[in-house]
Amino acid sequence: MRFAVSTEQQELRESVRRFLADRVPLSRVRELMETADGFDDLSWQQAGSQLGLQGIAIGEQYGGSGFSFAEQAIVLEELGAEFFFDAVALRPGKPTVFGWCRGKPVFGLPGNPVSTMVTFELFASPAIEILSGYAARPLPLFKAKLAHPMNEKGGVAHFLPARVSWRTDGAKSVTALDAPHASPANSQATNPAPPAGEPPTPEPIVEVLLWEGSGDIGAVVRGNCYLVVRPSRLRIDAGEWVEVLPRRGAL
């Protein structure tokens, strides 16, 4: 894959290329392949002290170089990685990348915690399962009624921090432990009204939590799921059935 690069980014690429040609040419790489650990400690130290490569995408306030993933991707490309995509139409989590380096799959997840949690569930976790020998399976989405109207912007899919509870008309929320299992069986098509004289079956009700962007880990902790808003359906009325993705370990 080819990234659109600025003049400064091209200079970074050339600096890394020169460094690798001087410190670890192909002949040196072949020598290292014959050693027990295949590692050149001196070159690794020089990569940090001279170019700051190990901390290139870490903020300056934490001792890094303060660059973005674009610069990190340039470095990884020079180290032999090949990237197949460098962004996804998703909020939060747009700067997600996937590539291949030395025969191994490589994911680059966004730095903000909410984005990292969402993209890990959507991309990294299924890939790990498949590479571990498990059959591919769909995301564990289930249906719930939206507690309030919403109108999202932008033509991308949204995975918004939310909380689902099971309620009956006029009843208090049922806890996740006492509620029906969060599965497609709770969807509108398979959740009929109970026979006359029997208590009503609790219905899953979901509400989006107030959050301040992809760095707001507190909103995720307060919730137990993500509300899925597809780009073809950005405006949803209260009471409509929507898709919900359980948060790992919370439902």
CA dist 124 → 18, 35, 62, 87, 245 (Å): 33, 32, 26, 14, 15
Buried b (16+ CB within 10 A) or exposed e, 185-207: ebeeeebeeeeeeeeeebbbbbb
Structural tokens at position 147: 């507690």
Determine what percent of the chain is predicted with pLDDT higher than 70: 86
Per-residue pLDDT at 177:
37
Residue 38 to residue 50: CA distance in whole angstroms: 22
Per-residue pLDDT at 86:
80
Task: Please answer whether residues 144 and 204 qualify as being in contact, where contact means their C-beta atoms are separated by less than 8 angstroms.
Answer: yes
Q: Give the angle subtended at the CA of 108 by the CAs of 158 and 99, to the nearest 5°.
A: 110
pLDDT tens across 20-48, in order?
Answer: 999 999 899 889 889 888 889 999 999 99
Longest dimension (CA), the chain: 83
Closest CA to 201 of 174, 161, 219: 174
Domains (range + CATH), the chain: 1-79 (1.10.540.10), 142-246 (2.40.340.10)
pLDDT at 183 over 60: no
Residue 5 to residue 102: CA distance in whole angstroms: 24
CA dist 229 → 91, 94, 105, 110 (Å): 10, 15, 29, 20
